[in-house]
């Protein structure tokens, strides 16, 4: 049995590494497209993309790992059935329960890993991501400027456009700035500009060189044109960054447990569900992978994926019901996992003997 345990664990592990790699590439590419969309919209800096991508990848692991383990077990045992290795094991007196016990040990280790992610690491990554996004929204006006497009100032006081922008040095080329303050509107064009900090006062300035300034007063309608060689605009002080109000998914498990509201209970059950889903899918995967040599290797993969979709959707629906108070917290999400275990038990049962006895019983009742 020790040899069998190592052999099955190796087969599942190799398949798991391949599936996790493929799924993480898919999820990461989708996240990367979304993040660069926010960069193009000016709500996120380019330097924050990789950091946010790392945080989002950690949170995605909570969803990717259970599915990856499920598919890995299916693929590994599909091969064993296709190559008649399961038939050889059965001929040696090793039944499905023995195989299930051998599979149960790596499933418990994997579920423990998912539990650490769901209860500790993923909430931390979610919180750090929300803080980073909050800081990006409260950045100074010139920190998020993108060359070649109009960028709205953070306080809605105007727009700035630059044809060239060096993020490291803070220099710009061919600058257009439209700014409104008090009862005056100003339009400034210049050949170049840069950011500077006064070493004595610490004030931040935007210095423009070789340009024109067009001022218009709203009340009087008077306007003036000024040509300048150097023109400084004082930038507002950076706001003091405060820790944002975190969502429940980004709060630590201890803080959620202490509050004890209905939404907090739902969140804790959701994190438990990540662990239970790993175990439930591991139990379901073994009978679903049962196939014969004449059948295709992936003949039951569609049905297995359909069961996974129904399983996870029912967990999500139950979570929504629990948050709205439509079901009891004692029922919560647990009934979905119980139903999955019952389905697995039914799949483990040999149906031919049961069908024989049912037909025999119905025949006796008929006569």
At 173, list the tokens: 């080329």
Torsion of CA 272, 277, 283, 289, to 10 degrees: -170
Return the minimum-mean-pLDDT range out of 24-38, 124-138, 269-283, 348-362.
Answer: 348-362
The phi, psi pair for 181, rounded to 5°, reads -155, 140
pLDDT confidence tier of residue 292, bands split at 50, 70 and 90:
low
Closest CA to 311 of 280, 350, 279: 280
Query: Has residue 306 got a pLDDT over 60?
Result: yes
Q: Which of 121, 87, 118, 144 is nearest to 291 (CA)?
A: 87
Work out the mean pLDDT of the chain and round it to a whole number: 78
Averaged pLDDT, 195-224:
79
Per-residue pLDDT, 358 = 56
Count CB atoms within 10 A of the CB of residue 118: 25
pLDDT in tens, 214-237: 888 877 778 888 888 888 777 665
CB proximity list for 194: less than 8 A, separation 6 or greater: 169, 170, 171, 172, 206, 207
Each residue's pLDDT tens digit, 262-288:
888 888 888 888 888 888 888 888 888
Question: Which pLDDT band, with edges at 50, 70 and 90, does 249 fall under?
Answer: confident
Structure tokens at 156: 């809605």
Rounded Cα distance, 357 and 366, in Å: 14
Lowest pLDDT segment from 57-61, 132-136, 185-189, 205-209? 132-136
Report residue 140's pLDDT band, with 50, 70 and 90 as the boundaries: very low
Higher pLDDT, 239 or 94: 94
Two tokens, residue 166: 């060096």
Domain boundaries in the chain? 2-137+244-355, 151-234
Is the pTM for the entire model greater than 0.75?
no
């Amino acid at each position: 049995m020790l040899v069998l345990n190592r052999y099955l664990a190796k087969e599942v592990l190799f398949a798991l590494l391949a599936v996790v790699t493929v799924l993480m590439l898919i999820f990461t590419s989708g996240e990367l497209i979304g993040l660069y969309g926010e960069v193009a919209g000016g709500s996120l800096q380019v330097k924050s993309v990789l950091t946010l991508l790392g945080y989002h990848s950690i949170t995605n692991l909570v969803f990717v790992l259970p599915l990856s383990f499920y598919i890995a077990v299916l693929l590994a045992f599909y091969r064993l059935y296709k190559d008649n290795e399961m038939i050889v094991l059965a001929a040696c007196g090793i039944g499905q329960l023995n195989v299930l016990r051998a599979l149960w040990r790596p499933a418990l280790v994997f579920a423990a890993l998912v539990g650490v992610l769901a209860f500790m690491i993923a909430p931390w990554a979610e919180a750090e991501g929300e803080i980073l996004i909050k800081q990006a929204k409260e950045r100074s006006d010139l920190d998020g400027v993108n060359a070649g497009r109009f960028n709205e100032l953070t306080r809605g006081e105007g727009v700035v456009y630059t044809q060239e922008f060096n993020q490291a040095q803070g220099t710009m080329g061919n600058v257009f700035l439209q700014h409104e303050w008090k009862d005056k509107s100003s339009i400034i064009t210049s050949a170049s500009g840069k950011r500077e900090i006064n070493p004595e006062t610490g004030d931040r300035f935007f210095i423009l060189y070789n340009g024109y300034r067009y001022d218009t007063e709203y009340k009087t309608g008077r306007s003036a044109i000024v040509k300048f060689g150097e023109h400084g605009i004082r930038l507002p002080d950076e706001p003091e960054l405060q820790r944002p109000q975190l969502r429940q998914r980004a709060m630590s498990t201890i803080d959620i447990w202490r509050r004890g509201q209905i939404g907090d209970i739902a969140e804790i059950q959701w994190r438990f569900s990540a662990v239970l889903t790993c175990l439930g899918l591991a139990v379901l995967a073994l009978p679903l992978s049962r196939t014969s040599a004449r059948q295709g290797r992936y003949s039951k993969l569609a049905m297995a994926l359909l069961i996974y979709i129904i399983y996870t959707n029912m967990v999500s629906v139950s979570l929504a019901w629990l948050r709205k108070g439509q079901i009891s917290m004692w029922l919560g999400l647990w009934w979905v996992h119980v139903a999955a275990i019952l389905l697995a038990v039914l799949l483990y049962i040999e149906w031919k003997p049961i069908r024989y006895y049912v037909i025999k019983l119905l025949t006796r009742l008929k006569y």
